[in-house]
A and B are shown apart, each in its own frame.
Chain A
């Protein structure tokens, strides 16, 4: 522990004894360097690798339930070998199917795209880009990861219990999730799910508070708020959203735990289940939905904003041109962050919500399309008249914009309550949110990994595999999710594992087959990326220059493999905004360079 305090004081008190930093540092043991590390870079990598593991599990689950959707009449004996009675006769059983979709959703939304995305890049980029030696509290930062880790273990364990994991859908609506009698997945699996989520929320609050205080207090000299790179701004808004909304989900989850275990009636009223009349009266099942979506909608932006921030940075660096409309980008992120709190009930248009209230939410929801449109036009203008290098990171960033457009536009359908009546809870919704927040955020994350991998590990990822990864994923994403909109337009409800018994929804059998085959291919290519990732950590092409992308931001002023504390000497001073590319005939001007006497103004 004394060592930990040393590191901490070394990080915070850099002004006092920066000279001995990197040299006089006591040799760290394996455990304090790689496991209970307080170095923000290592914690970022821990989040990333845990996120990758979860992404493989969540992705594999989607392949399994896609098998059922694409080939409902076929039996896959290998499934029975692995999953026993869950896949009796090689056919995925309904309880198993719903367990799979529930864990797939939970894991990808929270464990991968929240912890794995903002956990990784907030940790890695905030101190490096604002010019700080570490987070405001490296210890809380470490705790944040380990709470996430414990949450992961508990969530993972729920997959192995006899009655199976939680299976009420990732939204976990009561009364279904509150009643053990309602099904196998509502037994111990749901308790484990709730405990894991509660711990996850603790982790994300610890992280978020840390990010906010670091950004506000620990910027280096000259780094005013309007000189912050856009990823840092994005992480800032993300953290604020998380800190304000996650506690509401926590309260929702705790009330649900009470209803399940202590006999309270927060969400329960008038229930007769399997012939059993329950005593609960006076609760409201809809209350939970308000609490859930008060987080649930900001959560979408918690996932999306970091991706937007990184994409802005990567597009600018690789177009060799400043990001267009820096202040407009800030303004739109700010208005997205504010509006994110005012639109949650658009998930509840058909719950019997007061129609007038519904109309207010229509207005606010469609309003959020304005800042989104501004961002898209700004990205397009950033590319316009650039000199674009198509690194894998840049391609993923371009792919992000394409997917964000496609998925964002379908949001205009769903945010309009009139159309939502028809499309609510159909495959259209599934297509919409997978494109706009699932795949798009993944693209942002991939872009970030390819772009900052050299900073993380001092090596490059293999480019050829990177290009292959991008193209297969890009084409695959559209092949999988574009036609799904049509299923939704036909009114096909989501979470239907077999449509053959229906007259209205049985016309898409071929389509479902095609989607399944493509999703298997896309999943295989993601595994290839994971291989590339781990292989390149050890065997990748070495980075030889300090600033391989010719970027302006501070992380590229550190050593190729910076130690704990990031800069050997003093932390550099900042003199300008981070997007002086192509200015006055110079390719790029790092933030650390003082403004010249004859430099043109912008």
Chain B
């Protein structure tokens, strides 16, 4: 019923608008087309000026309303660089924006058609054209320089002491693998993937580097102020590891591993204080369209102190022992089922 009324009101409004429009055309013809054309020209000229003024006020109003809802503090060292680059660019582009929009609408208003106004025959001027080629070129060179400098810093080689974590995206969740004490991620092969046999990552058990690798799902733990290098992959389609608070992002491509590194600078607890939000968590968002669950492909990151991290890690059992309980010194005989850990707990 409500829908019907809305449709009826829309139709009515439409009809009225159309009748007015038609009538105004007749009036124009009756009063002399030229006269009413000049009148509507004045109205539109005024509206263009009004649009400029209200628009600029609107830009400031919008900023006031929304500036508290964006960005927040960057929570990684790279994030600081990204934000700085962003605000430099914002400053320059905003200046150009205001200048050119004022030019556009002010000229439109000022030089609207008038009885005795003679337009100025001005087909070209080399000096002007040179000026507005060179100035943008120089400005952009500066932005390019800054941008590339930061870009190489961010995408450069990870520090030697960085911890490594393997991140794997799948429809629709995240898996993580820690290299364990040896600091080496064991080899894997996609045809070995077999969750039923406790090998969701497809690890090759013959590789000794795999013996101490720890596998977890949905929640990644990182150490504050310790660089981390993520080795990123995907099982099925392309996903993307989006870390809004760290200002980092990298695609997860099946068959082509990618990497990114950064240093988290605040623990989850510190961020709760900084944002004033007791529910704050670092989230991993999938930023590359990956199917019907794309919008809900959420992972969590906990940033904590080294001691907390070590305690958490100590509570985890290497996947090798989960999959091969016979090799586990802690498991003697029939406690197989009790050892079967995390499987398929995907949040939707």
Residues of A within 8 A of B (CB): 76, 78, 94-95, 98, 167-169, 171, 173-176, 179, 182-186, 268-275, 277, 281-286, 319-328, 350-352, 355, 358-359, 362-363, 366-367, 369-370, 373-374, 376-381, 383-390, 395, 398, 401-402, 405-406, 409-410, 412-413, 416-419, 421-422, 424-426, 462-465, 467-468, 471, 474-475, 478, 482-483, 486, 489-499, 501-505, 507-508, 511, 524, 527-528, 531-532, 541, 579, 581-585, 602
| A351 x B258 contact (CB < 8 A) | yes
Return A119 CB to nearest CB of chain B, in Å.
28
A593 to B130, CA, bound (A): 32
Min CB distance A324 to B, Å, is: 6
Determine if B249 and A422 form an interchain contact, defined as CB atoms under 8 angstroms apart: yes
B22 partner residues in chain A, CB cutoff 8 A: 462
Q: Are B295 and A582 in contact (CB under 8 A)?
A: no
The residue from B111, B255, B258, B295 contacting A270, defined by CB atoms under 8 A apart? B255
- What are the residues of chain A within 8 A of B140 when measuring CB–CB? 366-367, 369-370, 412
Binds A, one of B114-122, B309-317, B321-329: B114-122
Q: Judge whether A390 and B45 touch: CB under 8 Å.
A: yes
Q: Are the CB atoms of B120 and A385 closer together than 8 Å?
A: yes
Q: Please tell me if B108 contacts chain A, counting CB pairs below 8 Å.
A: yes
Closest to A184 in B: B292
Contact with A along B23-39 (1 / 0, CB 8 A): 01100110000000100
Which residue, B48, B85, B143, B236, has most C-beta atoms of chain A within 10 A? Answer: B236
Are B85's CB and A401's CB within 8 A?
A: no
Which of the residues A390, A483, A499 comes within 8 Å of B112, measured between beta carbons? A390
Closest chain B residue to A170 by CB distance? Answer: B289
Contact of B256 (CB < 8 Å), options: A352, A387, A585: A352
- CB proximity of A415 to chain B, nearest CB, Å: 9
> Does B129 lie within 8 Å of A359, measured CB to CB?
no
Taking a contact as CB atoms under 8 Å apart, the answer to whether A463 and B51 are in contact is no
Say whether B147 contacts A482, CB under 8 Å.
Answer: no
Are B100 and A376 within 8 A (Cβ)? Answer: yes
Number of A-B contacts (CB under 8 A): 382
Cross-interface CB contact of B244 among A285, A490, A582, cutoff 8 Å: A490
Contact with A along B142-156 (1 / 0, CB 8 A): 011011101110111
Q: Nearest chain A CB to B138's CB is how many angstroms away? A: 10
B137 is an interface residue with CB less than 8 A from chain A:
yes
Give the nearest-CB partner of A319 in chain B. B119
Instruction: Mark each residue of chain B from 1 to 28: 1 if its CB lies under 8 Å from any CB of chain A, else 0.
Output: 0010000001000100110111011001
Give the distance in Å from the alpha carbon of A425 to the alpha carbon of B250 in the complex.
11
**B212-256 interface bits toward A, Cβ cutoff 8 Å, 1 = contact, 0 = none:** 000000000000000000001001111010101101111101111
Tell me if B155 and A355 are in contact (CB < 8 A): yes
**Would A384 and B253 count as touching, CB distance under 8 A?**
no
- CB-CB under 8 A from B202, the residues of chain A are 272
Judge whether B287 and A425 touch: CB under 8 Å. Answer: yes
Please give, as numbers and ranges, the residues of chain A lying within 8 Å of B267 by CB-CB distance. Answer: none
- Closest B residue by C-beta to A582: B119
> Would you call B341 an interface residue if the criterion is a C-beta within 8 Å of the partner chain's C-beta atoms?
no
Q: A176-B289, A384-B107, A413-B93 are in contact. Are A602 and B249 (CB under 8 A)?
A: no
Question: Are A507 and B240 in contact, CB atoms less than 8 angstroms apart?
Answer: no
Q: How far is the CA of A425 from the CA of B144 in the complex (A)?
A: 21
Within 8 A of A (CB), among B62-103: 62, 66-67, 69-71, 78-79, 81-82, 85-86, 89-90, 92-93, 96-97, 100-101, 103
B174-212 vs A, CB cutoff 8 Å, 1 = contact: the mask equals 000000000000000011010100000010000000000
Query: Which of B159-167, B275-283, B332-340 makes up part of the contact surface?
Result: B275-283
When distances are taken between beta carbons in the complex, the residues of chain B under 8 Å from A321 are: 119-122
Interchain CB contact (< 8 A) of A422 among B18, B55, B82: B82
Selected from B93, B244, B254, B258, the residue in CB contact (under 8 A) with A504 is B244
Q: Within the complex, which residue of B100, B190, B258, B280 is in contact with A405, where a contact is CB–CB below 8 Å?
A: B100
Taking the nearest CB of chain B, how far is it from the CB of A64, in angstroms? Answer: 14
Contact of B255 among A98, A283, A362, A492 (CB under 8 A): A283
One of A274, A495, A582 near B120 (C-beta < 8 A): A582
Query: Contact: A352 with B111, CB < 8 Å?
Result: no
Nearest chain B CB to A109 CB, angstrom units: 16
Residues of A within 8 A of B40 (CB): 390, 463, 467
Q: Please name the residue on chain A nearest to B71 by beta carbon.
A: A489
Q: List 24 A-B contacts (CB under 8 A).
A: A78-B3, A175-B238, A176-B289, A185-B292, A271-B235, A271-B254, A321-B122, A350-B249, A355-B151, A355-B152, A359-B152, A366-B143, A370-B136, A379-B104, A387-B117, A398-B108, A405-B101, A421-B249, A463-B28, A463-B40, A489-B86, A491-B242, A496-B285, A583-B121
Q: Which residues of B contact A410 (CB under 8 A)?
A: 93
Question: Which one of A326, A401, A416 has the highest number of Cβ atoms from chain B below 10 Å of its Cβ?
Answer: A416
The answer to whether A363 and B100 have CB atoms under 8 Å apart is: no
**Min distance, Cβ A394 to any Cβ of chain B, angstroms:** 9
A454 to chain B, nearest CB (A): 14
A273 to B251, CA, bound (A): 18
Q: Bound complex: CA of A494 vs CA of B62, how far in Å?
A: 21
Contact B292 A398 (CB under 8 A): no
With a CB–CB cut-off of 8 A, which chain B residues contact A362?
Answer: 144, 147-148, 151
Q: Is the CB of A98 within 8 A of B256?
A: no
B113 close to chain A: CB less than 8 A: yes
Which of B21, B47, B114 makes the CB contact (< 8 A) with A462?
A: B21
Q: Is the CB of A502 within 8 A of B93?
A: no
The reply to whether A464 and B25 contact each other, CB–CB distance below 8 Å, is: yes
A322 to B122, CA, bound (A): 7
